[in-house]
Amino acid sequence: MPIKLKPSVKRVDRATKKVTIEHTYARSQSKEALFEMLNNNNTKPKVKQKIRNELIRRGVKIEWVPKDS
């Protein structure tokens, strides 16, 4: 099963009443979006680990830089 970053969302087209389900998988996100989520303070540690695993799977080297206070 692919790794999900966010819960699935149901979108309803108001004109046709057709329901579509959107999934947020780690493999479908861009590298920039993943780094943005990784550096965000509001991201939960469980999700941050999922992002790190995805970046390692892609072969991206993560360099840790200390925060400037």
* pLDDT confidence of residue 69: 66
* pLDDT confidence of residue 66: 85
**Angle formed by the axes of helices 45-58 and 31-39, to 10°?**
150
pTM of structure: 0.83
How large is the average pLDDT for residues 24-51? 96
Say how many CA atoms lie within 13 Å of 66 toward its Cβ.
Answer: 2
Share of the chain above pLDDT 70, in %: 99
